[in-house]
């Protein structure tokens, strides 16, 4: 009986020591990168660690159902430029989720395939698969402003 009590106390002590590991840190993995989780409107907030120049913008709206995108940007033109097309998300065992796209009207594919990381309800990070120095941070927004899409009401 004494041996049984000693073994029980020893087992209880071992369990207590094993369960008191304070060195473990748990990170929030964020959301899974799926068409459902990225659907909606996003604005480019940072590119390569800096915010965009005043007046510059990139908005991209992802439609979950047909995996379509609509992008408005003025980085390579004076006024808003609307681009549309299809996107796809694949998963690489080592890299994780990768998003790629093709523009409509034979314009071609996106310039890069992007590794999507840190996807949360309101932010996501894209890193170019072929050039890890190209990093884009997107923030979720309610909609693309009407003055950019041309659907805004004119003030009288």
- State pLDDT tens for residues 96-113: 999 999 999 888 999 999
3 state DSSP class of 137? strand
- Write down the pLDDT at residue 22: 58
- State pLDDT tens for residues 35-78: 999 999 999 999 999 998 889 999 999 999 999 999 999 988 77
**Domain locations in the chain?**
35-143
- DSSP 8-state class, residue 5: H
- Write down the pLDDT at residue 4: 56
- Tokens of residue 7, six digits: 């073994």
In 3D, which of 113, 72, 108, 107 has the Cα closest to residue 95?
113
Q: What is the 3-state secondary structure (H, E, C) of 44-101?
A: EEEECCEECCCCCCEEEEEECCCCEEEEEECCCCCCCEEEEEEEEEEEECCCEEEEEE
Q: How many CA atoms lie within 13 A of 58 on its CB side?
A: 16
Q: Specify the CATH number of the domain 35-143.
A: 2.40.128.280
Q: Is the pLDDT of residue 21 over 60?
A: no
Under 8 Å between Cβ of 35 and 89: yes
Handedness of CA 40, 69, 84, 91 (dihedral sign): positive
């Amino acid at each position: 009986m004494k041996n049984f009590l000693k073994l029980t106390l020893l087992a209880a002590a071992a369990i207590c020591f094993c369960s008191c590991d304070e060195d473990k840190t748990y990170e929030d993995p964020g959301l899974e990168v799926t068409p459902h989780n990225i659907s909606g409107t996003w604005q480019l907030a940072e590119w390569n660690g800096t915010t965009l120049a005043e007046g510059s913008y990139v908005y991209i709206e992802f439609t979950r159902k047909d995996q379509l995108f609509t992008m408005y940007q003025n980085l390579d033109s004076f006024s808003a430029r609307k681009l549309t097309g299809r996107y796809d998300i694949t998963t690489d065992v080592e890299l994780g989720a990768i998003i790629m796209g093709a523009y409509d009207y034979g314009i071609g594919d996106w310039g890069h395939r992007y590794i999507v990381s840190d996807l949360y309800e309101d932010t996501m990070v894209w890193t170019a698969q072929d050039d890890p120095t190209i990093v884009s941070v997107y923030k979720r927004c309610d909609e693309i402003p009407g003055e950019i899409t041309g659907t805004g009401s004119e003030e009288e």
